[in-house]
Amino acid sequence: MESEQFRVTFTNRGAQVKSWVLKKYQNDRRQPLELVNAIAAPKYGYPFCLWTYDEALRARLSSALYEMKATDTASAGNQAERTISFDYAEGGLVVHKAFTFDLERSGKKGEGALGYVVGVDVSVSQNGTPVEALVAWPSGFGDQTVESSYSSAVDLWSTGERNWVGNLAVNRTAAGGIKGGATITGNMPLAGASDQYFAAVFLPDQPQDAAMVTLRNQIAIPKNLEKPDLAQTVNVNVIGAAAGNRLGRTTGRYFVGPKALEVLDRVHVTAGVGEQLGSDLEPLVDFGKILGWLAKGLFVALEWLHDHVLPNWGWAIVLMTVLINAVMLPLRFTGLKSMMKMQKVKPQMDAIQAKYKKYKPTDPRRTDMNKEIAELYKREGVNPVSGCLPMFLQMPVWIAFYTMLGIAIELRQAGWLWIHDLSSPDPYYALPILTVVTMVLLQLISPQPGGDPVQQKLMLVMMPLMFGYFSYRVASGLALYWVWSSVVGIIFQVWLNNSAFGREMRVSMAKRKK
């Protein structure tokens, strides 16, 4: 079975999928991405196998030889469809499995979303009695190659409730919290498994009768993919899910594809009885609960810059960094002015502190010192907090950027200059080094507020090293943001130092030093 989006290979042994290739995505070797996990699937089951509570029946359903038939039809929208059906009957056991693919062919952005949706119709009966048999995606995904990619996998489902923006609320359980064989029931518009960038999610026709069984197994993978050694392996959890109708026949759709917003926005779910074509699948992308609105907003803005201004994700991040810093420029200017004023009043503040030095910290007269310092700040127009305000306001942006870069499939394997994948750390460590260098340079040319000189020198070293360590471990797209934030800061600081206000401060500092 083949379309513009995928190439799916079925086997009549178990009526399941042996290969599911996404043509528009690539693996680490720049080959079309195979979604079937080559290590886990032969051991724990292939996609679209059937899961039953009877282990012996489960094994029989996966090993039986089915009779296969393919039929092409035209859908209501005059689109071509192909249904591949499998039938098996022996000793009172009757099984029917049918999968319908949309053969839509469209190169326009987002319009191929239906190509990732597969219609499902499954029924199993034993001596005329319906058997609860759930359609499973049991063994993770083919893009999982290292330990971190396995740890990002989750089982997810919705109970039909809405979140604060009106989308379906999605529950997620990470690998460490999943108990293999646990059953979740209730009104369930969607249920399945996903990893960092891809998902296999069942969308039942009757959500009120749906059930999901969580699947968790272990495999050993090589520690070093470049030099695989069976003697040096690490155990990882393989997450999967089985979903369907707990009352018997299962009908619905399976979404198997990328967690790209332009795709997910076009795939709708049956949100409950009497509520057809409700929410879309956008909640599969976890932007976060607290700063999710900011992370999504940053991604939408970044995508617009990429699509309309700079057709490279790295340069789009650079441009977005400049724009964000331009928006924060007034705050930065206010903060730097306050820091320069702090330097100007430093001698007077030292004199006040020396005046009360003879009193113990618990002495009530110490409150007089604080009052005098506060009056000094007020008289000179100094706000000691404003110097930290720009850094404080950028923290949510950094967190949202970090979240967005970790889940945006558009940045997966996106290159920029020497970087081959903006969603992964810099393999040559150039960005971490540049992070340290630019932060040190920025601090050296920036005015320092009054305080202990030893602490100032310590911060001059520790802060850049800390951010350098972070950028060594995080996505290179975020490190790129940090570097260019410092570059923009250096340019602005040089301009401010050479302005009339900056020259005045330098004269004042020189006098104080003399």
> For residue 3, how many C-alpha atoms fall within 13 Å in the half-sphere facing its CB?
24
> Is the residue at 79 inside a domain?
yes
Verify that 277 and 304 share a domain, yes or no. Answer: no
Verify that 275 and 300 share a domain, yes or no. Answer: no
> Is the residue at 291 inside a domain?
no
pLDDT of residue 513: 60
Query: In Å, how far are 330, 339, 349, 387, 492 from 448, measured between CA atoms?
Result: 19, 6, 15, 10, 16
Instruction: Count other Cβ atoms within 10 Å, centred on residue 450.
Output: 18
Verify that 139 and 253 share a domain, yes or no. Answer: yes
For residue 159, give the H/E element and its range: strand 154-162
Query: In Å, how far are 119, 212, 335 from 494, measured between CA atoms?
Result: 62, 60, 15
Cα angle vertex 25, ends 24, 27, to 5°? Answer: 150
Verify that 201 and 314 share a domain, yes or no. Answer: no
| Residue 328 · residue 443 · CB < 8 Å | no
> Is the residue at 225 inside a domain?
yes
Verify that 264 and 311 share a domain, yes or no. Answer: no
> Is the residue at 83 inside a domain?
yes
Please state, in angstroms and rounded to a whole number, the distance separating the CA atoms of residues 118 and 115: 8
Considering 239, 260, 286, which residue would you say is the last residue of a domain? 286
Please state, in angstroms and rounded to a whole number, the distance separating the CA atoms of residues 476 and 278: 37
pLDDT of residue 511: 66
> Is the residue at 365 inside a domain?
no
> Is the residue at 324 inside a domain?
yes
Tokens representing residue 476 in the block: 């290179």
pLDDT of residue 411: 86
Verify that 215 and 304 share a domain, yes or no. Answer: no
| Residue 27 · residue 198 · CB < 8 Å | no
- The pLDDT tens digits for 184-234 are 998 889 999 999 899 999 999 989 899 999 999 998 888 766 666 666 788
Tokens representing residue 161 in the block: 């409730």
Verify that 44 and 10 share a domain, yes or no. Answer: yes
* CATH code at position 253: 2.70.98
DSSP H helices in 168-291: 261-264
Q: What is the SS3 assignment for 372?
A: helix
> Is the residue at 448 inside a domain?
yes
Verify that 21 and 141 share a domain, yes or no. Answer: yes
Tokens representing residue 335 in the block: 């903060």
Find, among 217, 209, 213, the residue nearest to 270 by Cα. 209
Q: Which residue type is seen at 54?
A: D
Q: What is the SS3 assignment for 168?
A: strand
Tokens representing residue 155 in the block: 């089982």
pLDDT of residue 477: 87
> Is the residue at 166 inside a domain?
yes
Verify that 272 and 395 share a domain, yes or no. Answer: no
pLDDT of residue 273: 45
Verify that 223 and 309 share a domain, yes or no. Answer: no
- The pLDDT tens digits for 491-510 are 888 887 787 777 776 676 66
pLDDT beneath 50: ranges in the chain: 105-108, 110, 273-277
Verify that 240 and 319 share a domain, yes or no. Answer: no
16-26 and 154-162: which strand pairing?
A: unpaired
Please state, in angstroms and rounded to a whole number, the distance separating the CA atoms of residues 144 and 414: 18
Please state, in angstroms and rounded to a whole number, the distance separating the CA atoms of residues 104 and 36: 23
Verify that 199 and 305 share a domain, yes or no. Answer: no
Q: How many structural domains are present in the chain? A: 2
Considering 263, 286, 309, which residue would you say is the last residue of a domain? 286
Tokens representing residue 467 in the block: 């951010």
Strand ranges of the sheet holding 16-26, from the earlier edge strand across to the other edge: 6-11, 16-26, 32-34
Domain that holds residue 181: 6-286
- What's the distance, CA 327 to chain centroid? 25
